[in-house]
Structure 1
């Protein structure tokens, strides 16, 4: 198999997994502001609750809390940009709707998602860096301990 074909297939498989994950995540938020069907007010209220919870656990001051709020807003904007304006499940289903897998549409979809990540990442990284750098040594250690206990951000 030619290397470019193998890379394309691996990329497509990765994109399919990522899109499946995004599709699954889109259905989690029906109870509190994280789903695609949440209003901007519900999403903001949910992010506010998360900020309050983190602020309480890390004993954040007002400046740190403001930086955490900015980080939450940037992450939310990045998530919306990656998700796009259409339903991720419908996008994936449209790839297999015909007799053959729509390779061109899949590649365009992957490129769209990659472009969204690439364009929004600098802002997210800057906001995360600003927040983390504003923490004192004890607060930073709490964050590291939390991540170690959870083995990453997304596991429960």
Structure 2
């Protein structure tokens, strides 16, 4: 497997855990389809960090590494969301005419994969540093949560 593909997959795993798990645990189903504001993202980040800190009983060093991971995820998200157009809107524009706009679809995919490729090394490093700082019992708790696929997140966050 190519090195960049491995990094992308690992980066996606890390992003999926924190963003997906955090959003599932804290979002309380946003009914609006509007993109999250910076203030909402910051508030969500703080809630996720607080809950993860309590659930995993993180010390100050581990909390700092979790903060760096959250920052790396935010940079990755910003890179993926660059351009301001929502992916759903882009998809709708691809099928708006009588034929599928293949060139626009390819450019869209290349832009997104390029963003992932550029930001993945920092995300992988941040996730690795955070995970490696966990004690074995904390790592096991995290693995147990991930093996459930995010289901039962209430039990994870409540400890």
Q: Is the shorter-chain TM-score for this pair beyond 0.5, marking a shared fold?
A: yes
Distance of 1:31 and 1:101 partners within structure 2: 32
1:41 and 2:39 aligned:
yes
Distance of 1:154 and 1:114 partners within structure 2: 28
Q: Deviations over 1:33-70 (max 9, x none)?
A: xx763221221111110011011011000110111111
Specify the alignment match of 1:14 in structure 2: none
Specify the alignment match of 2:78 in structure 1: 80
1:58 and 2:56 aligned:
yes
Distance of 1:136 and 1:129 partners within structure 2: 13
Specify the alignment match of 1:108 in structure 2: 107
RMSD: 2.4
Distance of 1:77 and 1:155 partners within structure 2: 28
Q: 1:130 to 1:154 in 2, by over 3 A?
A: farther
Displaced runs of 4 or more, over 4 A: 29-32, 153-156
Q: How does 1:22-41 map to 2 (within 5 A)?
A: 37-41=35-39
TM-score between both structures, scaled by the size of structure 1? 0.71
Specify the alignment match of 1:7 in structure 2: none
TM-score between both structures, scaled by the size of structure 2? 0.70
1:125 and 2:120 aligned:
no
Structure 2: where are the runs of 5+ without partners?
1-22, 154-159
Q: Highest CA radius of gyration, 1 or 2?
A: 1
Specify the alignment match of 1:142 in structure 2: 141
> Aligned residues, how many?
125
Higher RCO (CA-CA < 8 Å; seq separation 6+): 2
Distance of 1:113 and 1:46 partners within structure 2: 24
Distance of 1:100 and 1:80 partners within structure 2: 31
Q: Deviations over 1:86-135 (max 9, x none)?
A: 12221111111111110111111110111011011001100000101111
